């Protein structure tokens, strides 16, 4: 992979998508995810999703989200 960085643009190394983790960080991350299995249905009957959940938002509400 080529590393291209135009001279006028400064890149924060913490924000790079291709920044690599040290082996200790990577192994700690993997062991944490393996130790806590996903439990499906934990919130069953506690959350209600309305039938129109994916319906388009009204124009006034959409404008508010977009800062208009």
Q: pLDDT tens string for the chain (68 positions)? A: 555 655 556 666 666 655 555 555 555 555 555 667 888 888 889 999 999 999 999 999 999 999 98
- The per-residue pLDDT for 62 is 92
- The per-residue pLDDT for 60 is 95
- The per-residue pLDDT for 36 is 74
Q: H helices of the chain, where?
A: 23-35, 59-65
Nearest to 17 by CA among 1, 32, 29: 1
- Residue 1 near residue 18, CB atoms below 8 Å: yes
């Amino acid at each position: 992979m080529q590393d291209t960085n135009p001279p006028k643009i400064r890149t924060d190394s913490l924000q790079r998508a291709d920044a690599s983790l040290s082996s200790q960080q990577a192994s700690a991350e993997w062991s944490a995810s393996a130790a806590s299995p996903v439990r499906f249905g934990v919130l069953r009957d506690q959350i209600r999703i309305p039938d129109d959940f994916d319906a388009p938002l009204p124009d006034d509400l959409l404008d508010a989200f977009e800062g208009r």
